[in-house]
Amino acid sequence: MKPQHLLARIPVTVRRQSLLIDLVVILCGLAFFFGMIQLGTYWMAQPMPEVLISHSVRALPLYACYSLERMGIAYLLSLIFAVSYGYTAAYNPRAEAWMIAVLDILQSIPVLSFLPPVMLAMMALVPGHQLGIEMGSILLIFTGQVWNLAFSFYSSLKSIPREMIEAARIYRYSAWQRFWQLEMPFAAIGLVWNSIVSVAVGWFFLITCEMFTIRPRNFRLPGLGSYLQSAASADPVDTHALLWGLGVLVLIIVATDQLIWRPLIAWSDKFKFEQTESASRVTSPILALLQRPSALTRLPARAWTACEERIYRRLSKTRDCRVVQPIDDESEKGSKLVPLLLAFFAALAVLWGAVQAYRMLQGVTWPEIRLLLLGAGATYLRVAATLILGALWTIPVGVAIGLNPKLARILQPITQVLASIPATALFPVLMLGLIRLGGGLGIGSIALMLLGTQWYILFNVIAGAMAIPSDLEEVAALYRFSRWQRWTRLILPGIFPYLVTGMITASGGAWNASIIAEYFHIGDKTLQTLGLGAQISAATDSGSFSTLLLATILMATIVVTTNRLVWRRLYRLAETRYKLEG
Amino acid sequence: MQEAAIPSEGQTPASTSDAIIRAEGIEKYYAQPSQNRIQVISATNLSIVPGEIVALLGPSGSGKSTMLRMLSGLSTPTAGQVYWHEKPIANAEINVSIVFQSFALFPWLTVLENVEAPLQARGVSADARRERSLKMLDTVGLDGFEAAYPKELSGGMKQRVGFARALVVEPEVLFMDEPFSALDVLTAENLRSELLELWANKTMPTKAVFLVTHNIEEAVLLADRIIVLGRNPGHIRTDFRVQIPQPRDRKSEPFTQLVDYIYKVLTRPDVAPAAAPGQKTPIRDQRQMHYQMLPHARPGGIAGLLELLIDKGGRDDVYRLADDLAFEIDDLLPIVDAAQLLGFLQIEEGDAVITLTGTEFANSEILRQKELFRVAAVANVLLLRQIRRALESKSDHTVPEDFFLDMLDEQFSEVECQHQIETAVTWGRYAELFDYDAGHRRFVLPDAQDEEIAAAGEDE
């Protein structure tokens, strides 16, 4: 460190083995490059109608690579889309309300309902290659990941403090500078945490999307998901392969957590918008290693700065950088023609879609509709049971962990990893257990849905318990509150906002999980029970698209209505009466 | 005092011809959802000429910050026009900076990067940027802190970075929005004198400084010209030049006289300022005030002020009172206003004089105080009277808050309506006139009286 920087206190560790780090980074880069080439040649190959999924353990690394690459591409697409969408929504007051409403609705539609139409569309788009199926699966994972990222970015943009926006205006920042120096950094923390959730959700759907049937075709993509599924549906069940597959999956998730998420969280501390240093910080040795200035990291930095300079010089001549743009510009910028045309075309598209849907729905008979409604009721009860059961065990455990700081520090990262392991991967194992126990899928599906969603509630309850201020606990101790009093006056109200957040996420997850949990192929049997999720899966399997459409509409309507009537109200209550800071 | 200040004839041709920024008839309205328009600033003319520090002084709610934003081009006036060297400001390439009350530093950039950022926006090359920024940091006294992050700095240092960033672009006009109010007294004093030094030595290429503040002493200390704003709606009450030569001594006679004069102006909002002959004060927009604006003061504060006054013999200069309490004007004026509204004191010539009822109030014990407060509130405050009457006349003795919000809406902005309700609730609860159920957002009668009325009803 140069002498004049002695007064700065940046935590940078100095290590000697710079060569080792550079080698590792180079090796990773080469592996990635080789993987992309391999993937490229495979994609461009002729689509083999029935890809044989090998059960040998030696095929696992390659399959894992494929799955990872799919996840990576889907995540990048989600990030770019979310940022663009959030940006447009935040800065176009006219379009804002619509865009957010659309986001809300799309978020409530179960992802797996999109499976057949997206797949078939992609196959039609790229008929000759395996690429079509790949694109379809990536797109499906994308639809599971993108909504909460978009919401997070949008709400970050809307909560930037006024004076910082004014500073950017008065000093004439270009939109580029404002984006990279104000908006992205401000949104960084939200994006990091939401990315963790998104990738976890992505794994959940990846496992299902890699192998499925749309009569009469069987679609299979080589990857971890199809490996696990085919091992489970083999006759007899290949437990050896199943366990190996699960092991590799858990390994990947733990590695992602340690090598990617923890360093990101530690790095994003830099963007925390607070005026003083906070006491507790997440540390990551990996981050410290990467932050060391080595030859490898300095090169791209220098190239980027040179590029940036040219961009800034070019931008300084634009109007944005020469004239101060008022913030409350009430004059309507630009012509009204473009948005009007867009609205017109959008209306046309919606109309065409509605006509097509109506035609499709005409094929549905009344008994089928009655069955769907019954199924909807059954699944609704199951989701409610899942939430109640989940809350019943996670609240005591979560509070116990959260109120004990030492325990919290050890267990919270573990719960984070547990929440990332996709329940869909564990389903086959659980199904086997269920079959052996002889239980029906009616109750068993609740267990499966619980497995997928209880971690969200636990995670949030722990965070809520940690956030209860210690002076309130001291009051409870001082006045010797009884256990009942302590729970009803301090703990439950204290964790209420976090509990509601957890329940909202769990509810959405439970509806999505019901599609898989209520209808399952194992061995050569098909287990199913009365429920809307089962009906959606069955319709996908048998290719009856009209039933699928109606069932999807029904599920989306129920989710959106519950959201508005129940969760929004609870959330508003949590924000006003139960908020801890004034 | 006549020597210390002379009213500035702001409209003489000589000064406006070289005005850097000139505002002509600017107004600001905010549209309400109920189709009413709340006028925040009434038609105002103002010019900023080179070579002077202008201070805009006024109580909260007078629209000082809005005025600053309109003059700097950040906000478009609803009516009227702002000119930059005689060109409309919306199309002109203006060169101004703002120093913010909350510093507005970017926490993820180092001090150096924060200062370099405006230069980056202007396309200055990396080396030139660095050199200029380092020099400016040296000027404000932060040499050695280039690589520090804002959260490692104290408040005073953060504001120095704010100054460095503002001055590195060599602005023609430097705007400051209450720059020292978030700092402790000593640091603020320090920075004020450094600012004066920079200005006096012409170390800054800035031609004019426009300072918005609510601190009277700060304005008199720094400014060459002081503009006092009134509120409801915001308008200029007086505009005069300060003739005291720099460096100014707080304890000197002309200084204290000028501060006293400004206090007088501020404590009598309904009286036109005395020492401004020949000054064309714009005609105030005197709408028929249906509701008096409740000053944001608590009954405890009023009681405290009255007790202090009795200690001083029933009469004291408002300026000295503020000094004794180490209060800012923003904190003292509402309490004085409230006591005046309730008839507990009167203002005579800048002195606060306690009335008979005020004396009784201050000398009583708490229950009697509540009673006296209740009587005075019902007699003098329309809003409280209405709430009480509405509650008494309804059979279930509750009234939703929205009922009164609707009526207040016509006179006050949305935020101010909420403040008025909050103040009314505080006063009503203290006086045991009524209670407020926050969960259901309704006014209710306090239980004891409720039973009383119920019992009285049963007796019939």
User: Tens digits of per-residue pLDDT, A546-575?
Assistant: 787 788 888 888 887 888 788 878 878 877
* A171, A177, A315, A325: best to mutate for the B interface, most B CBs within 10 A: A171
On chain B, the residues whose CB falls within 8 A of the CB of A577 are 439
Q: CB-based burial of residue A438 (10 Å sphere; 0-12 exposed, 13-18 middle, 19+ buried)? A: exposed
**Nearest-CB residue to A177 (from B97, B120, B439):** B120
On chain B, the residues whose CB falls within 8 A of the CB of A277 are 151-152
Indicate the SS3 state at residue B20: coil
d(C-alpha B94, C-alpha B89), whole Å: 7
The answer, yes or no, to whether residue A186 has pLDDT greater than 80, is: yes
On chain A, the residues whose CB falls within 8 A of the CB of B98 are 166-167, 170
Count of beta carbons in the 10 Å neighbourhood of residue A130: 18
Question: Which of B151, B164, B147 has the alpha carbon at shortest distance from B110?
Answer: B147
Confidence label for A9 from pLDDT (cuts 50, 70 and 90): very low
**Predicted confidence (pLDDT) per residue in B335-383, tens digit:** 888 998 898 988 887 788 899 889 998 888 888 889 999 999 988 888 8
The answer, yes or no, to whether residue A498 has pLDDT greater than 60, is: yes
Find residue B83's DSSP bridge partners: B22, B88
Question: Of residues A278 and B107, which shows the higher confidence score?
Answer: B107
- What is the DSSP secondary structure assignment for residue B33, as one 8-state letter? T
Pull the structure tokens for residue A308: 């940036």
Residue B161: the pLDDT is 95
DSSP letters spanning B95-109: -EEEE-TT----TTS
Beta carbons of B148 and A7 less than 8 Å apart = yes
Confidence label for A392 from pLDDT (cuts 50, 70 and 90): very high
* B97, B108, B176: best to mutate for the A interface, most A CBs within 10 A: B108
Average pLDDT over residues A248-260: 89
Average pLDDT over residues A348-371: 78
**Predicted confidence (pLDDT) per residue in B392-442, tens digit:** 888 888 888 888 888 887 777 778 888 889 999 999 999 888 898 888 888
Q: Which residues contact B258 (CB under 8 A, 6 or more apart)?
A: B1, B4, B5, B220, B242, B244
Pull the structure tokens for residue A104: 């809300």
Residue A522: the pLDDT is 67
Tell me the C-alpha to C-alpha distance, in Å, between residue A210 and each of A203, A541, B422.
11, 15, 59
**Predicted confidence (pLDDT) per residue in B182-208, tens digit:** 899 999 999 999 999 889 888 778 999
- Helical H segments across B21-144, by residue range: 64-71, 111-121, 126-139
Residue A16: the pLDDT is 40
Confidence label for B148 from pLDDT (cuts 50, 70 and 90): very high
- Name the residue of chain A whose CA is nearest to B71's CA: A326
Pull the structure tokens for residue B226: 């002081």
Confidence label for A3 from pLDDT (cuts 50, 70 and 90): very low
Q: Which of A37-46, A86-95, A162-171 has the lowest mean pLDDT?
A: A37-46
d(C-alpha A466, C-alpha A486), whole Å: 16
Residue B4: the pLDDT is 46
- Helical H segments across A364-491, by residue range: 366-402, 405-420, 423-437, 441-467, 470-478, 483-485
**Predicted confidence (pLDDT) per residue in B82-132, tens digit:** 999 988 988 888 899 999 999 999 989 999 999 999 999 888 888 999 999
- Name the residue of chain B whose CA is nearest to A172's CA: B121
- Name the residue of chain A whose CA is nearest to B104's CA: A164
* B106, B130, B134, B178: best to mutate for the A interface, most A CBs within 10 A: B106
Q: What angle (nearest 5°) sits at the alpha carbon of residue B85, between those of residues B84 and B86?
A: 85
The answer, yes or no, to whether residue A80 has pLDDT greater than 90, is: yes
Q: Which of A225-234, A392-401, B384-393 has the lowest mean pLDDT?
A: A225-234
pTM beyond 0.95, yes or no: no
Beta carbons of A277 and B152 less than 8 Å apart = yes
**Predicted confidence (pLDDT) per residue in B124-133, tens digit:** 888 999 999 9
On chain A, the residues whose CB falls within 8 A of the CB of B96 are 170, 324
